[in-house]
Amino acid sequence: MSLDFEKEHKEFLSLTPKGKILFVQDIVNEIVDTLNQKNVDIDVFVTKIALFKFFVSRLYRLSGVYKKEYFDFLVYNIREMWIAVESCSSQFMLYPALSAFIDLFSKLKGLNPYYTLHAALDGTIEYGKLPPKDQITELLKKEQLNLTFLIDYMQLDSVLRLNLTKKEKLDIIKSATNYAQLLVLMLFNFIVTVPVISREDFISWFKLFEDAIEKAQLGHTHLKEIEETSFGLLRTKISESSLYSLKAQLYLLNARFLNENVSEILNIAFMENSRALQQLEEYNDHTEYAETIRSFYYQQKSLLLENRFYQILHDLVTTQYKTGVYIGDLKDEKLELTKSAIRLEVQEILREIYKYVSELLIKSKKEDLGISFNLINIYAKISLGAYVYDLVEEIEKMEMLIKTQGIDIGDPELSLLLARYWLFRWGEEKKEEFLKLSQNYYERAAEVYQMLYNNRYVPIYSYSILSMFQYQLGNLSKADFLIMKADDEFNDAKSLMIVSESERYYYEKFRDQIDQVFNNQTVDKPLRFDIPFNALDFNSWSIETKDWRNNLISLPEPFPFNLDQLKIIEFEFISPNSVNSDN
């Protein structure tokens, strides 16, 4: 770390939130001015871009009070940077500038996935606004055109035909590859966080993501050819490993959201995860770099093991290993032997991930904490599936890991997973303490999904089910308060035009039945929903012996909105028009 950087960093830390925004604004102004100059020192320019990226990443941690100022800062500089990039004639400055531009745009997308480049550039963007549902498809098509254009901006072949020194080639390829990687990350985050998207739109964005991945992989191929230092090559392979891993995650998203050709897609994802791991394996016992890649290796191996667990679970449930086969008076032992082998493999998967988590937590390196928490999330997910489908004898390690690390706070998916886990435990053992734990996690999930992702579905479901629990415990006033909170979230979702006909129909039917219950009336046929099994959707994992609904026989079940997702793919169990009122 240079003395100049240390001085700037100390100055930045001493500033107010608004002062920090102005500090980064000055850096952006310098970058824009440089893009309009000739005879620029490229090394100085690249250093300035690196400084910008470091400090702009710190702005994201500003208090929510300054979110509007942060939004204005991003929109203004996206316009300014775009104008400067369009007029830039230097190939040496173009890709570093583009990577800075994409950094800004990805942060804007992080505030709201429906903020578009078109709206930012033409001044029609509005802070805090979500588009009406009937305009989403058209909006996404325009955004796809913009991003296709940005992906096509990376044309390395034409650049590499120029008469360049090896260092010049290396610098350009590094900048271009970084630009492509940021595009990949932005697209991935968009696909994960967009609140509503149709099946067709999801498929087309999936294709766009693949195109961006291909560009980034091309950059890595060129980098490996001309990188001269061993550390530079290592850094390239770590980066390439992340790309393969992201591609695997994309395929898992496809299987989870579309629930089609799941076995085939899980196999493809497994191959991509294997490639991610292969990039690092040669350094596993390296005298100089083994420690450098350790946490990355553990993460990639855990993702591979998670993928393998989904394959096991999919095969287990879809081929119904749970039931024995009888021929005359003889029982076929083959299925039980297979189930026994599956149990052993799943238990080994859990042991291996637990070992990785324990080792990373002991080291307590700051840079390893994020990876540790990711691994804990994976461990908890596999533990839940193993518990539900009787593939593990005990699950106390998962409970203890969550309790001692306290990392579920602020993690919406893990909160939702643990809420479901304790609901299963309550369904099986009927202990009130388990129900209270489930309630705590549902409350946390509702708050975080709504606050961070503007997601209304999880709060609707969570407050609805919490209301049922309070009624079950005899707390009628609390039950009434919670169902009103669910109504508020549902009305917000309706005003945002993100509720489908079937969702509206089933919520209103649920409310009618809840009112009957609260008025001491008997509900003839309480609502029940059996979500189609999906190995990657933990809200679809269930078996009859662990069904929490058995404890709430007289109460209706809230509509399940694909709850483990940050995004919602619309699906309908049945058309409301064909549903009789007495169903």
Q: Is the pLDDT of residue 200 over 90?
A: no
**Cα gap 406→447, rounded to integer Å:** 17
Task: Specify the higher pLDDT residue, 62 or 246.
Answer: 246
Residue-range definition of the domain harbouring residue 536: 421-583
Confidence of residue 3 (pLDDT cuts 50, 70, 90): low
Structure confidence at residue 241 (pLDDT): 93
Contact between 91 and 159 (Cβ < 8 Å):
yes
Contact between 572 and 564 (Cβ < 8 Å):
no
Residue 74 belongs to some domain of the structure: yes
Structure confidence at residue 455 (pLDDT): 78
Q: Is the pLDDT of residue 500 over 80?
A: no
Structure confidence at residue 195 (pLDDT): 65
Confidence of residue 549 (pLDDT cuts 50, 70, 90): confident
CA neighbours closer than 13 Å in the CB half-sphere of residue 548: 23
CA neighbours closer than 13 Å in the CB half-sphere of residue 370: 2
Residue 125 belongs to some domain of the structure: yes
Query: In this structure, how many other beta carbons lie within 10 angstroms of the beta carbon of residue 447?
Result: 16
Boundary-marking domain end, from 199, 228, 257: 228
Contact between 272 and 306 (Cβ < 8 Å):
no
Give the count of domains, the chain. 2
Confidence of residue 576 (pLDDT cuts 50, 70, 90): very low
Structure confidence at residue 236 (pLDDT): 92
Structure confidence at residue 488 (pLDDT): 95
Residue 306 belongs to some domain of the structure: no
Q: Is the pLDDT of residue 74 over 90?
A: yes
Structure confidence at residue 570 (pLDDT): 30
Confidence of residue 550 (pLDDT cuts 50, 70, 90): confident
Structure confidence at residue 344 (pLDDT): 93
Q: What is the pLDDT of residues 504-514, one digit of tens each?
A: 899 999 999 99
Structure confidence at residue 2 (pLDDT): 57
Q: What is the mean pLDDT of residues 521-540?
A: 89
Confidence of residue 566 (pLDDT cuts 50, 70, 90): very low
Q: Is the pLDDT of residue 250 over 60?
A: yes
Q: Is the pLDDT of residue 583 over 70?
A: no
Residue 377 belongs to some domain of the structure: no
Across the chain, what does the average pLDDT equal? 84
Structure confidence at residue 166 (pLDDT): 84
Task: Specify the higher pLDDT residue, 415 or 4.
Answer: 415
Structure confidence at residue 330 (pLDDT): 42
**Cα gap 448→415, rounded to integer Å:** 9
Residue matched to tokens 């800004």: 104
Q: Is the pLDDT of residue 480 over 90?
A: yes
- pTM of the entire predicted model: 0.85
Boundary-marking domain end, from 206, 228, 250: 228
Residue 289 belongs to some domain of the structure: no
Q: Label residue 261 left, alpha or beta by phi (over 0 means left) and psi (-120 to 50 means alpha).
A: left
Beta strand extents in 145-203 (DSSP E only): 196-197
Q: Is the pLDDT of residue 194 over 80?
A: no
Structure confidence at residue 320 (pLDDT): 59
Q: Is the pLDDT of residue 561 over 80?
A: no
Structure confidence at residue 406 (pLDDT): 60
Q: What is the pLDDT of residues 339-391, one digit of tens each?
A: 888 999 999 999 999 999 988 888 755 556 678 888 988 999 999 999 999 99
Residue 471 belongs to some domain of the structure: yes
Boundary-marking domain end, from 228, 256, 286: 228
Task: Specify the higher pLDDT residue, 398 or 195.
Answer: 398
User: In terms of Cα–Cα distance, which of 451, 459, 382 is closest to 414?
Assistant: 382
Q: What is the mean pLDDT of residues 326-341?
A: 58
Q: Is the pLDDT of residue 535 over 60?
A: yes
Q: What is the pLDDT of residues 127-147, one digit of tens each?
A: 887 777 678 788 888 899 989
Q: Is the pLDDT of residue 322 over 50?
A: no
Which of 78-92, 258-272, 454-468 is most confident?
A: 258-272
Q: How far is CA 257 from CA 137, 248, 533, in A?
A: 18, 14, 12
Residue 338 belongs to some domain of the structure: no
Residue 191 belongs to some domain of the structure: yes
Structure confidence at residue 328 (pLDDT): 40
Q: Is the pLDDT of residue 237 over 90?
A: yes
Distant-in-sequence contacts of 69-72, Cβ < 8 A, 24+ apart? 69/17, 69/18, 69/21, 70/21, 70/111, 71/108, 71/111, 71/127, 72/127
